[in-house]
Homo-oligomer: A and B are copies of this chain.
Amino acid sequence: MIVRTQTAQFEELPLDCGETLRAVEVAYETYGALDADKSNAVVVLHAFSGDAHAAGISEEDGKPGWWDNMIGPGKAFDTNRYFVICSNCLGGCGGTTGPSSIRPDTGRPYGSSFPYVTIADMVRLQKQLTDSFGIERLLSVAGGSMGAIQALQWVVDYPEAVASAIPIAGTHRHSAQQIAFNEVGRQAIMADPDWENGDYYEGAGPSRGLAVARMVGHITYMSDDSMREKFGRRRREPEPHSSGAFEVESYLRYRGGQFVSRFDANSYLVITRAMDSFDATQGFSSIGEAIGRTEARFLVLSFTSDWLYPSYQSQETVRALRSRNLDVAYVEIPSNYGHDAFLIEVGEQTELIKSFLENTYKRLPLPASQMGA
């Protein structure tokens, strides 16, 4: 399945901060076909550093999508049955308007003038995209990590527009520890003199700071056990008295350096701030009230060894949903892979998501076109 990222443009996007973005572009991909009654659409939401290329082989660079093992014919998100949409998030650097995009009114990159955006802003833009397809109600919104956060925001903001949600390895708000890890990454970027307060697009850019930020991230995505299995104390250099010789060190440096070539430091700042500021309870008396004003069904997943988004956070969300008598399935999947598990543990996720989507689809009210038949 060769795929190509497409771009939609919207005249304006009002933001929570009060500003309005003009000529907003959204990079997206779709897989499968939209039914005539538009009842089979699933929005898949990427994690912090993901992009619109969720599945298939990119026409551009030949690489598989970040959830290619989960989206496709016969897979968890079965593209023989469902129409799957994935778009790069607002503030990102994968084709959707973000700090590195050209400002229509100045002809130069936004840089430091890019406004403060929220998860709700990201979801508002996704809604514009699904509206443009004429989709009134999504069969599901699904994603891991920041994808889970966005799925919950969908439910809060558009409770009638989703028939189900699948938040995986997420939370309805960040803990102090989650904010702290993100802040270290931000400080690493802003400590780099090449950051230039965000207006670095004509210069070198804060590549060293961004690499350090990514290294912190990588540690939090893995588990203690999976790092032990993958690296242990193996050294790349046999000499015991040379430093920097552990395999885990060169792996982190490699991944940090690799990240710099594909990600924008200002997007790192903008997106992590949106994640930290996300709090589904904001404006409501409880989390139950916030995410419970819907008839959507939920499948909530977490992983035993995920210490960045620990299971207790998913369990809090589940309790809140159940207190509203909503239809919620929750599974804590045994895995050694830490937070990365949502990208790796394909087997059990596939089984759960496949039957959940089938059941959700079966329970949909008959579309208007079939009501008269």
Contact = CB atoms under 8 A, between A and B. Distances in A.
A188 B188 CA distance: 7
24 contacts: A17-B241, A18-B241, A174-B233, A176-B232, A177-B227, A180-B248, A180-B252, A183-B215, A183-B244, A183-B248, A183-B253, A184-B219, A184-B252, A187-B252, A188-B188, A188-B191, A188-B212, A191-B192, A191-B211, A191-B212, A216-B216, A224-B310, A243-B277, A244-B273
Contacts of A348: none
Given A191-B192, A212-B187, A273-B243, A179 B249 contact: yes
Interface residues of A, number: 56
- A188, A253, A279, A282 pick with most chain B CB within 10 angstroms: A188
Interface in A134-190: 173-177, 179-181, 183-184, 186-188
A163 to B, nearest CB: 30
A240 interface: yes
A176 B230 CA distance: 9
A48 interface: no
Contacts of A69: none
Contacts of A218: 180
A230 B269 CA distance: 24
Q: How many copies altogether?
A: 2
Contacts of A193: 193
A276 interface: yes
- A118, A184, A192, A273 pick with most chain B CB within 10 angstroms: A184
A246 B184 contact: no
A319 interface: no
Interface string A241-263: 11110101100110010000000
A307 to B, nearest CB: 7
Nearest to A210: B191
A75 to B, nearest CB: 32
Given A175-B224, A176-B228, A219 B187 contact: no
A111 interface: no
Contact of A212 (B184, B227, B282): B184
A43 to B, nearest CB: 25
A358 interface: no
Contacts of A277: 240-241, 243
Contacts of A227: 175-177, 180
A73 B31 CA distance: 73
B231 A116 contact: no
Contacts of A95: none
A225 B99 CA distance: 35
A179 B250 CA distance: 11
A205 interface: no
Contacts of A4: none
A208 interface: yes
Nearest to A223: B177
Nearest to A181: B219
A215 B243 CA distance: 22
A180 to B, nearest CB: 5
